[in-house]
Structure formats: structure tokens, C-alpha cells
Structure 1
Amino acid sequence: MPLTKPNQQLHRDLKEAATLLKWSGVDLMQAAVRLSEADQEDEAKVLLTIAESYQAAEDKLVGYAHEVRSGKINRSKPE
């Protein structure tokens, strides 16, 4: 069954947010590497922790997008 327009938009929004988290996490990882190379291990660890939390949030958003696609999550009207 095809998605309604509100559900299509919700699916796109979730995927977009997940992608933004993914690339922000990549940027944080790169910054953590630079900090580590500059002997700033404590700061690097903080960034790695944040990047890992971004990955977890990204995974959740992708899962929600799949649930929208499969019809488990439904938006009845756009906001």
C-alpha cells in the first residue's frame, strides 16, 4: 500500500534527521582523532561519547522510518 503524503513527509523527515546525525557523528569522530593526536585524550573521549550517542539516535530514527514505511507508524495529518 502506498504511503499517504503526510506519511511520505514523515518518512523523509526521519531519514533526513538520521542522515544529519550520521554526518555530524563522522565530523565529531574526525575532531576526536585530531584531539587525540594533539594529546588531548579526555576531550577526544568526550567527543567519541557524543558521536556514539548520535549513532544510537540515528539507528532509532532509521527504525522509525522503516516503521512508517511498513505502516506501523501513521501520521493522520501534516502539522
Structure 2
Amino acid sequence: MPLTKPNQELKRDLKEAAALLKWSGVDLFTISKRLLDAGDEIGAAELMKIAVSYQAIEDKLASYADEVKGGVITRTSAG
């Protein structure tokens, strides 16, 4: 059964949010490496911690998008 328009939008929004978190995490890893190379181990570690938390949330959002696709999560109207 095809997704309704509100569910298509929800799935798309979840995928977009997950992708944004993924690339933000990649950027944070890059910056943390620069900080580490510059000798700022504390700053680097803090950014790595944030990047890892982004990855966990990214995985959750991608999972939610899969649940929307499978009909487990539905939206009755676009918000």
C-alpha cells in the first residue's frame, strides 16, 4: 500500500533530519581532529562525544522513517 501524502512528508522529513545529523557529525569529527592536532585534547574529546550522540539520534530517526514506510508509524495530517 502506498504511503499517504502526510506519511510521505513525515518519512522525507525524518530522512532529511537524519542526513543533516550525519553530515554535522562528520564535520564535528573533522574539527575535533584539527583540535587534537593543535593540542586541544579536551575540546577534541568534547566534540567527539557530541558527534557520537548525533550518530545515535541519526540511527533512531532513520529507524523511525523505516517504521513510517512499513506503516508502523502514521501521520493523519501534515503539520
TM-score (norm: length of structure 2): 0.99
Report how far residue 70 of structure 1 moved. 0.1
Counterpart of 2:44 in structure 1 is 44
Counterpart of 1:68 in structure 2 is 68
1:31 and 2:34 matched: no
Cα shift readout 1:34-66 (whole Å, capped 9, x = no counterpart): 000001000000000000000000000000000
What do you get for the CA RMSD once the two structures are aligned?
0.3
**Which ranges of structure 2 fall in alignment gaps of 5 or more residues?**
none
Q: Distance in 2 between matches of 1:78 and 1:19?
A: 21
Report how far residue 25 of structure 1 moved. 0.1
**Which ranges of structure 1 fall in alignment gaps of 5 or more residues?**
none
Report how far residue 22 of structure 1 moved. 0.2
User: Equivalent pairs: percent with the same residue?
Assistant: 61
Displaced runs of 4 or more, over 2 A: none
